[in-house]
Amino acid sequence: MIDRLNRRVAELRNPSIVGLDTHLMLLPAAMAERVDHADPMGSAAALILEFNKGLVDAIADIVPCVKVQVAYYEQYGWQGMKAFCETLAYARQKGLITIADCKRNDIGSTASAYANAYLGRTPFPQGEIASMDADFLTVNGYLGSDGVLPFVEACKTYDKGIFVLVKTSNPGSGELQDRSLGETTVFETMGDLVQAWGRETLGETGYAAVGAVVGATHPKQGEILRKRLPEVPFLVPGYGAQGATAADLSGLFDARGFGAYVNSSRGIIGAHKKSGLPYADAARDAALAMAEDLRGALSAVGRMDY
């Protein structure tokens, strides 16, 4: 799957991801007003799915991947989770690679169950059935190998991928992740573990199926990790609404312009709030502008071979 993602990035000349962090208050007012107060959760979930489908239709030919953040769907109960699953399925149907942003983690059989749910197959007496069937999943690695290896096994079995939290974009990440461990730091140590976990998953394009979440808001740490982890792909949140620019991020890519996938959520799916355009048109314009921004930044430093 990591090879498919890299090839799609090259085909589109675009290493960006659109985050579908969709909630009712982000919808156009006329759409949000259609909530049925006799069934608020169900109707809200249906409207969110409708909104997402419009977004996917608008961007499917210009971005390689979407990231669907589960928390925004969980808050609408089981109906929201149904919209989450149907959003993943619709994006996949339209040819997009999908990331389930769930930051799952546990140990042993529980981790295996999470891996089955999001990446693999759920066992039944008659066989196995795919559930969420995302292409990638975000994983919290701070329980160590016990909490990550079941996901790695799913990656190997089903040609999927994971992104493990390493240096996250939130301001408080340094409280733990920047702490010194002798001659290294917590985030560097976690990065080393990620590289070790992915060694048996290396693809033809030079990257492993086990990647790292590296926040765009910490470019210096990102550059350290890029040099330290040459085979580890980075999922990079924090562009746009969180303050990071394309110029900040060139050091997270390799010399060819691969190795990092930059996510923007609110800046794209909420673009209609500022532009006044129909939401799908506004999202497409914002996605095109982001792609051009990233291409320009990479070209300026000679890091774009596609």
3-state secondary structure of 276: coil
Residue of 103, 160, 167, 220 marked active site: 103
214-234: pLDDT as tens digits: 999 999 999 999 999 999 999
Q: What integer is the mean pLDDT of 103-132?
A: 96
How does pLDDT run across 80-89, given as a tens digit for each residue?
A: 999 999 999 9
Q: Which residues of 167-193 are buried (b: 16+ CB within 10 A; e: fewer)?
A: bbbeeebbeebeeeeeeebbbbebbbb
Q: Check: pTM over 0.85? Answer yes or no.
A: yes
pLDDT of residue 262: 98
Task: Specify whether the CB–CB gap between 178 and 186 falls below 8 A.
Answer: yes
Q: If pLDDT is split at 50, 70 and 90, which confidence band does 240 have? A: confident
Q: Which residue type sits at 216?
A: A
**What number does CATH give the domain 2-299?**
3.20.20.70
Q: What is the pLDDT of residues 147-171, one digit of tens each?
A: 999 999 999 999 999 999 999 999 9
- How do the domains of the chain map onto residue ranges? 2-299
How confident is residue 304, by pLDDT bands cut at 50, 70 and 90? Answer: confident
- Give rounded-to-5 percent helix, strand, coil for the chain: 50, 20, 30
**Is position 103 annotated as part of the catalytic site?**
yes
Q: What mean pLDDT, rounded, does the chain reach? A: 96
Contact between 215 and 222 (Cβ < 8 Å): yes
Name which of 32-46, 65-79, 124-138, 242-256 the model is least confident about. Answer: 242-256
C-alpha span between 178 and 273 (Å, rounded): 36
